[in-house]
Amino acid sequence: MIKKLAKSIREYKKPSIITMILMVGEVLIECLIPIIIANLVNKIAASEETGLEMGYLLKTGLLLVGLAILSLGCGGLAAFTCAKASAGFAKNLRHDLFTRIQGFSFNNIDKFSTSSLVTRLTTDVNNVQMSYMMIIRTAIRSPLMFVTAIVMAYIMGGALATTFVVIVPILIFGLFFIARKAMPAFRRVFKKYDKLNESIEENVRAMRVVKGFSREQYETKKFTTAAGDICKDFTKAERIVALNGPVMQLCMYINMIFVLIVGSNLTISSKGADINVGQISAMLTYGMQILMSLMMLSMIYVMITISLESMKRICEVLDEESSLHNPENPIYNVEDGSIEFSDVDFKYSHRAEKASLSGVNLTIKSGMTVGVIGGTGSGKSSLTQLIPRLYDVSGGCVKVGGIDVREYDIKTLRDSVAMVLQKNQLFSGTIKENLRWGNENATNEEMIEACVLAQADEFIKTFPDGYDTYIEQGGTNVSGGQKQRLCIARALLKKPKILILDDSTSAVDTKTDAFIREGFKQYIPETTKIIIAQRIASVKDADMIIVMENGCVSAVGNHDELMQNSDIYREVYEQQIGGGDFDE
């Protein structure tokens, strides 16, 4: 998993490595400075009898200042290279994620919820960025600190340094034991905590329902119980981690006592020949440094484990293989707008018990106007989504222009089959920018032409900014009917061979709806038009009407035939047209 993510570092390997090198410099200087300072103090202390040598003091002082500036240089530079490396890594990761998502098929999209994708792209990447920064700064620093401190301790303290042979393993064992014990507990709590936050969100969103049913107290009780439960778990996990400090101190104290007893014994017994006071005090300093670097290492360990969950979620997206692939030798030309379904079965996922479509056989000639009606969940949308190959069939085949859709280049196919989705969307930007989604190079005349055909030109002209009117995110500043007409215009700009409207005029008044259909008939007669609708009026005049029920084609025919043969059709018709005073 880490290997997979590391691939996204790319051009930021350089700053990462530079950071580590700079860290080496910083650590070396940091280890050097205490030695010089110790020497300086000794010298000053020794000069009590001989008098102070100002020259030496200044010289050492300058050396120290030089070293400090060098260290500052290393540290400061590393601060930025490391920020660059981690921010760059995060950038690449986001880029890779976004690109991967763009390659998803509808099937893949259905798997992830929008909000979960957004979290992955933002907070999860952020978590990885933070731990990456931590790692490149300290992963070199701490072990290096550890090693130099041990080496120095041996040089300075000789035999005394053996104490670390005992202390260090104890501490390592202690710290990692704590981390190992705490981590699973934390992971469990985090999951619960995420759930709690989800339930808060649910509550906020549904506040009208909560208040409408006077369920405030019920909700509060539910929340308090869940929150209390989490608090208990958190406390448990945190209490284990809180042992870190005391364990660390215990080791430090044991080290000090040992050094003091053995050190003073050795010094006095050998009359200061084997070891002296200065060395004992150095041993104490290095002991501290060794333990500190171990503490840092255990913190890194904790940090990585915590961001592991984020990494896992990112990898889930990166590992998701698109379920639709372009064929080997794709066909780049769609002959005409004829469509054929033969023995089509379709399930949204392998695991689905119920097939969304089964045994569908249809032949639609190029240029026909086809109406599709049926109840919620009868398979109308599923049927049409197979034509631009938004999903692949589970059995049988769908042919466009006489050729199986799976043999076309996907882009070619989708450019020839324009689909206005039921859950449609405009993007923030001007009307023109939105229309250009259909055809990037569309001229103003082409855009106006499409809008006239979709009955959108008229209302666009009433806007003060006309075609340059800015559409807010989600198209909130135009009405539902206007939005639908803009979406139709956008699809028309593709000049498609097949046009599919999935309940795309539901918010448009019946008269305008009729105008749109009339326009289609006159101006794009060669285009095959498939219209899914709830309103009988929208499909009544179609060349062919398909009645769907429970994933099967229940009846096919024109209006008059269906009035004769199809009970469902007749029932819907009577419901909507009612007593006959409908004057269309």
Partner 1 sequence: MSKGPMGGGHGMPRGPRPKFNPGTFKRIIKMLFKFYPVMMPVTIVCILFSAVTSAIPAIFQKMVFEDIETFVKGGDWELAKQTILPKIFILIALYVVSIITVTLYNQLMVFITQGFLNKMRCHMFETMQTLPIKYFDQNKHGDIMSHYTNDVDTMRELISRSLPSLLQAVVVVLSVLGIMLYYSLWMTLVVLAGVILMAFFSKKVGGGAAKHFMRQQKTIGKAEGFVQEMMSGQKVIKVFCHEKECNEEFDKVNDELYNASFRAHGFANCLGPIIGNMGNILYVVVATMGGLIILSNIPNYSISALFAGGATALSIAVMVPFLNMSRQFTGNINQVTQQINTVVMALAGAQRVFEVIDQQPEEDNGYVTLVNCEIDADGNISESDKRTGHWAWKHPHSDGTLTYELLQGDVTMTNVDFGYVADKLVLHDVSVYARPGQKVAFVGATGAGKTTITNLINRFYDIEDGKIRYDGININKIKKSDLRRSLGIVLQETNLFTGTVMDNIRYGRLDATDEECIEAARLAGADDFITRLPQGYDTQLSNNGSNLSQGQRQLISIARAAVADPPVMILDEATSSIDTRTEAIVQRGMDKLMEGRTVFVIAHRLSTVMNSDVIMVLDKGRIIERGSHAELIALKGTYYQLYTGSFELE
Q: Per CB under 8 A, which of residues 335..394 are in contact with partner 1?
A: 353-354, 374-377, 388, 390
According to CB under 8 A, which residues from 286 to 315 bind partner 1? Answer: 306-307, 309-310, 313
Q: Between 75 and 365, whose beta carbon lies closer to partner 1?
A: 75
Using the rule CB under 8 A, give the single segment among 91-99, 149-157, 333-341, 518-526 that binds partner 1: 91-99
- Per CB under 8 A, the list member of 14, 28, 31, 75 interacting with partner 1 is 75
CA distance 498 to 339: 9
Place of tokens 């002082």: 61
Asked if 24 touches partner 1 (CB under 8 A), the answer is no
Range list of H helices, 103-124: 106-111, 114-119
Asked if 410 touches partner 1 (CB under 8 A), the answer is yes
Helix and strand counts by DSSP (H, E) for the chain:
21, 12
Quote the least distance from Cβ 404 to partner 1, whole Å. Answer: 20
Per DSSP bridges, beta strands 498-502 and 357-364 are unpaired
Q: Which of the 8 DSSP states describes residue 407?
A: G
Binding pattern to partner 1, positions 524-563, x when CB under 8 A? Answer: ----------x--x--------------------------
Q: Extract the tokens encoding 531.
A: 């219209």
HSE (side-chain half, CA atoms, 13 Å) at 358: 6
Quote the least distance from Cβ 561 to partner 1, whole Å. Answer: 20
Quote the least distance from Cβ 443 to partner 1, whole Å. Answer: 18
Quote the least distance from Cβ 538 to partner 1, whole Å. Answer: 11
CB atoms within 10 A of CB 517: 22
Cβ atoms of 356 and 382 closer than 8 Å = yes
Cβ atoms of 417 and 388 closer than 8 Å = yes
Single out the residue of 304, 270, 498, 260 nearest to residue 388, CA to CA.
498
- Per CB under 8 A, the list member of 509, 518, 521, 523 interacting with partner 1 is 509
CA distance 41 to 44: 5
Asked if 32 touches partner 1 (CB under 8 A), the answer is no
**Mapping DSSP to helix (H, G, I), strand (E, B) and coil, where does residue 514 land?**
helix
Using the rule CB under 8 A, give the single segment among 3-11, 203-211, 285-293, 443-451 that binds partner 1: 203-211
| Size of the residue set binding partner 1 (CB under 8 A) | 175
- Per CB under 8 A, the list member of 284, 315, 397, 403 interacting with partner 1 is 284
Binding pattern to partner 1, positions 240-279, x when CB under 8 A? Answer: --xx-xx--xx--x--xx--xx--xx-xxxxxx---xx--
Binding pattern to partner 1, positions 446-485, x when CB under 8 A? Answer: ---------------------------xx----xxx----
- Residue 363 vs residues 136, 408, 447, 523: alpha-carbon distances, Å: 63, 19, 32, 23
CB atoms within 10 A of CB 377: 14
According to CB under 8 A, which residues from 426 to 445 bind partner 1? Answer: 427-428, 437-438
- Per CB under 8 A, the list member of 17, 24, 130, 397 interacting with partner 1 is 130
Asked if 567 touches partner 1 (CB under 8 A), the answer is no
Using the rule CB under 8 A, give the single segment among 112-120, 169-177, 360-368, 444-452 that binds partner 1: 112-120
Q: Between 201 and 319, whose beta carbon lies closer to partner 1?
A: 201
Asked if 119 touches partner 1 (CB under 8 A), the answer is yes
- Per CB under 8 A, the list member of 17, 79, 318, 552 interacting with partner 1 is 79
Residues recorded for the chain: 584
Report the sign of the C-alpha dihedral through residues 578, 580, 581, 584, in that order.
positive
Cβ atoms of 275 and 267 closer than 8 Å = yes
- Per CB under 8 A, the list member of 17, 31, 33, 368 interacting with partner 1 is 33
- Per CB under 8 A, the list member of 8, 16, 105, 384 interacting with partner 1 is 105
Q: Between 181 and 411, whose beta carbon lies closer to partner 1?
A: 411
HSE (side-chain half, CA atoms, 13 Å) at 118: 3
What crossing angle do the helices spanning 480-492 and 444-453 adopt, rounded to 10°?
130
Single out the residue of 193, 186, 194 nearest to residue 236, CA to CA.
186
Provide the terminal-to-terminal Cα distance of the chain, rounded to the nearest Å.
Answer: 64
Asked if 184 touches partner 1 (CB under 8 A), the answer is no
- Per CB under 8 A, the list member of 295, 362, 403, 421 interacting with partner 1 is 421
